[in-house]
Amino acid sequence: MRNVDGSSRQQILTRCRAGDPVELRPEPTNPHDSNAVAVYVSGRQVGYVSRQKAPRILRDIECSRIIFVSVYKVSGGTKEKPSRGIVLYVAVRA
């Protein structure tokens, strides 16, 4: 998938490493899901939080409970699974 600026999310993901900081940006006007939360690494969008997890993450953002977010691991990029993705580490205040 490509971003609005034409950049390839898959290309951006090839440069992601465990520990990279992540920014989560709510998109309340997203036409597909009002709970959408975009995922950015180094200021560039790499995807979205899954539709199933987005409502919880959105509540945590709105209540200022999220302390820190980073890349936990990069998945994919193999012959069997060519598309890359990232797993997030999200530290939340109790």
Q: What is the 3-state secondary structure (H, E, C) of 12-39?
A: HHHCCCCCCEEEEEECCCCCCCCCCEEE
Question: Which domains are assigned to the chain?
Answer: 9-92 (3.30.70.2330)
User: What is the model's pTM?
Assistant: 0.92
pLDDT at 71 (0 to 100)? 98
pLDDT tens-digit series, residues 38-67:
999 999 999 999 999 999 999 999 999 999
String of DSSP letters for the chain: -B-TTS-BHHHHHHT--TT-BEEEEE-TT-SS-TT-EEEEETTEEEEE--TTTHHHHHHHHHTT-EEEEEEEEEE--SSSS-S-EEEEEEEE--
